[in-house]
A and B are shown apart, each in its own frame.
Chain A
């Protein structure tokens, strides 16, 4: 049963698709890092696929996974179409040397905070993200906790809370209220 999404993806982006697989009933496609934004825009704007909702964006660290993967990190986009009621999982693998990928905030606003959390937890940078900062851990935190090599009990104390003024000024400048 070749679902329509994979069929269309093969037609248009056959070169940049690295792996297609189904597991527990869900299909997922591993794509090239360079082609991720064109693929996502195609999935969103194509009338037949119409993936208008990015349900979830997360990352996985395959350092200690028994099955050896080519690169260490993988970013996972769960897409869902409200009108067509079908979903697809797009994966992008990120190698340790070049920890960055293009940001999807231009396509969906839900990617904004999800990417900030992936940056906070794994240290993967998103080019073109409007406000890439830590979101869950405090601003004096060093290291990225959800990596497999970060010890679970390594605690870091926060001395002074973040005043958020720099973030606020950036927003004010965008609105033209502050020089």
Chain B
């Protein structure tokens, strides 16, 4: 028995226009939503993006394929190697070269580690927005553990351009496996601590359950992919639908939610971290030895003494670096399962060393397109929780 609706209607209170704007603690820096509020409830909202549009697709048309990789780092800068792997996989498929098994295993191990730390930051920031500050330190410190591994491996903490077309920047340092095993147990402990804090926490449950529900049909129509689509009950994961890099030979299952509300989106991510930990352990067990760069002359640089001693090695080295890898003319759309969803690259090459057009299919562009519609009728506190659970990364959103 709540207060009758008509009681409010004839009070004709004015709509309050508020900017949940670009520089707001919970708006991840560069997302702006202009809301019309009635009291606390959002009546209509209009979103504006483009505050971090850095012209990736225009700049990339003047770079060689290997020079594009540092630009792909800055797309989803929270899990940057996943973008590198996606881009190099697409170009390698166009070139028709097969990369060595060791390179595939290392790429998958690092991608799954990146998926874990992407979910860690998303959940840490979301829980800070909900006011649960201690979880930020529990989760974020585990990201620092993985940072040390990445520093040793690639030299950079965040924007580590680790893959090259046809291989990797360098091989694993020795002691890599133990560091990763230690990091995984650390992350599991942190996840359990955070779950112990939040799983039965009344405030957390009230603020996230039945909030901004996205139905299955809406999620598909909006073009959701990744954890947000699986939270709405659609079991679609690129690693299972069309598997690449031996994903079909290792067993991991895809967590799927039922209601598609913020609670489901959060716990799909928690469960996905456990699956990724399981995956990394299996891949680590079967890590083969051998070369990491494919021996295809069009792609891999000749080794040191070839480049210095005979003229063919020198010309080959010069040509690959100076004019870039020559990709035969054609086009391709290839996608991988990044942390936020299906990250696709539509590349058109004109036979020269620089790509003619690189179109990135950013997963969170289509997710954020639905944001003004799914937050209608909910309170301001709910729209902040929902924005956190959608995990919108501005670099990937605005490219």
Residues of A in contact with B (beta carbons under 8 Å apart): 23-26, 28, 52-56, 58, 60-61, 64-67, 76, 78, 82, 85, 89, 108-110, 112-114, 117, 121, 134-138, 145-146, 150, 152, 162, 164-165, 167-168, 171-172, 175, 177
Q: How far is the CB of B358 from chain A (nearest CB, A)?
A: 10
Give every chain A residue within 8 A of B366 (Cβ-Cβ): 110, 113-114
**CB atoms of B329 and A53 under 8 A apart:** no
**CB atoms of A162 and B223 under 8 A apart:** no
Q: How far is the CB of B355 from chain A (nearest CB, A)?
A: 12
Binding site secondary structure of chain B: mixed
Decide: A110 near B330, CB < 8 A? Known: A56-B344, A78-B361.
Answer: no
Which one of A25, A78, A85 lies within 8 Å of B344 (CB-CB)? A78
**CB atoms of B36 and A89 under 8 A apart:** no
A75 to B220, CA, bound (A): 21
Which one of A55, A136, A167 lies within 8 Å of B223 (CB-CB)? A55
**CB atoms of B46 and A167 under 8 A apart:** yes
Give every chain B residue within 8 A of A113 (Cβ-Cβ): 365-366, 369
**CB atoms of A162 and B218 under 8 A apart:** no
Q: How far is the CB of B353 from chain A (nearest CB, A)?
A: 14
Residues of B in contact with A (beta carbons under 8 Å apart): 15, 17, 32, 34, 36, 43-44, 46, 48-50, 53, 55, 57-59, 62, 93-94, 96, 218, 220-223, 225, 234, 236, 241-242, 329-333, 335, 342, 344, 346, 348, 350-351, 356-357, 359, 361, 365-366, 369-370, 398-399
Decide: A137 near B50, CB < 8 A? Known: A53-B223, A146-B57.
Answer: yes
For the complex of A and B, the 10 pairs showing the least CB-CB separation, nearest first, are: A110-B223, A113-B369, A136-B50, A136-B53, A56-B361, A24-B332, A58-B359, A164-B34, A109-B221, A23-B330
Q: How far is the CB of B30 from chain A (nearest CB, A)?
A: 12
A54 to B222, CA, bound (A): 9
**CB atoms of B44 and A56 under 8 A apart:** no
**CB atoms of A110 and B369 under 8 A apart:** yes
Known: A65-B348, A175-B44. 20 other contacts (CB 8 A): A52-B220, A55-B344, A55-B361, A60-B357, A64-B356, A78-B344, A82-B236, A85-B242, A108-B223, A110-B221, A117-B365, A121-B57, A134-B50, A138-B50, A164-B34, A165-B17, A165-B34, A168-B17, A168-B34, A172-B44
